[in-house]
Amino acid sequence: MVWQDKVVLITGGAHRLGKAMALRAAELGAHIAITYNTSAGPAEDTCEEITRLGRRALALRCNQVDPDVIQPTVDRVMQHFGRLDGLVNSASVFYRTDFFEIDQQAWDEVMAINTRGPFFFTQSVARYMLDHDGGVIVNMIDESALKPSLDYAHHTISKAALWSLTRLSALRLAPKIRVNAILPGAVLKPPDWDAERWQAIADHIPLKKLGSPDDVCQALEFLLCSEFITGQMIVIEGGTTI
Ligand SMILES: NC(=O)c1ccc[n+]([C@@H]2O[C@H](COP(=O)([O-])OP(=O)(O)OC[C@H]3O[C@@H](n4cnc5c(N)ncnc54)[C@H](OP(=O)(O)O)[C@@H]3O)[C@@H](O)[C@H]2O)c1
């Protein structure tokens, strides 16, 4: 698919990987909508950077814990741009909790943001895409979907479910919509980790180094542009899950 003047919606696109992917999609020629929850300032900054690339940009607040805000968010993207061709489900929550300390509130929050939100975004954009020229959906999962991360049980399960959603929706929405996933390992330091802890991860990676946002953006570009791939994941983790 050629992305010039197409429209891509990226959830959690205000900063970090979401922002990097928004800028990469803009460099491919797309106009960009991003959602944010708490990062209004960074979302505006990202829109300015997209505008400087000559593309149109829109930032919408969408706390995707609440499924009822998702269809209206997609509707506003359609009203603003008049079309919608791509969705990247990147918004996510990630925090460590001991297996025995996960309570119903923590479980519900992680599942709501990481799994239920992407499902309803998929459903909402698919209604438009199936009625028009089709589209492409990319879900951001995590290496824990292949190799369980014991201190992040609810996150692990939410991302495994997102992988299941990827395959299911690839089948359900074919042939007009392609749905794939990107599975990063350590590509961008969580904000609450110190540099030493982050660097130490490299010792446990077969390739003995950390990844980068650019590794993810290359995969995104490939999945946006490939015409014959659906229901698959690109694994970017230096061999960790082997
Ligand atoms: N960083 C890595 O190395 C890595 C590794 C494996 C997988 N991934 C996956 O790649 C994706 C992006 O990674 P990242 O590190 O850039 O993610 P991140 O910083 O942990 O989170 C991305 C965004 O999620 C949004 N978000 C959180 N709660 C939300 C809510 N209730 N409603 C709407 N948005 C909400 C946040 O928006 P606000 O800031 O506006 O609140 C945040 O900007 C995620 O899906 C992550 O699981 C990343």
The arithmetic mean of pLDDT across residues 210-225, rounded, is: 98
The sign of the dihedral angle between the CA atoms of 82, 84, 88, 92 is positive
The arithmetic mean of pLDDT across residues 127-142, rounded, is: 97
Cβ-contact 139, 116 below 8 angstroms: no
pLDDT of residue 1: 72
Tell how far the Cα of 26 is from the centroid of ligand 1, in angstroms.
Answer: 19
Is 136's pLDDT higher than 80? Answer: yes
Task: Read off the pLDDT band of 233 (50, 70, 90).
Answer: very high
DSSP SS3 for 86: strand
Domain at 7-187+212-235, CATH homologous superfamily: NAD(P)-binding Rossmann-like Domain (3.40.50.720)
DSSP string, 118-178: HHHHHHHHHHHHHHTT-EEEEEE--GGGTS--TTBHHHHHHHHHHHHHHHHHHHHHTTTEE
Rounded to the nearest integer, the mean pLDDT of the chain is 97
Tell how far the Cα of 214 is from the centroid of ligand 1, in angstroms.
Answer: 16
Amino acid at 60: L
7 within ligand 1 shell (Cβ under 6 A): no
| pTM for the whole structure | 0.98
187 within ligand 1 shell (Cβ under 6 A): yes
166 within ligand 1 shell (Cβ under 6 A): no
- All structural domains of the chain with their residue ranges: 7-187+212-235
> pLDDT tens digits, residue range 46-82?
999 999 999 999 999 999 999 999 999 999 999 999 9
First-to-last C-alpha distance (Å) of the chain:
32
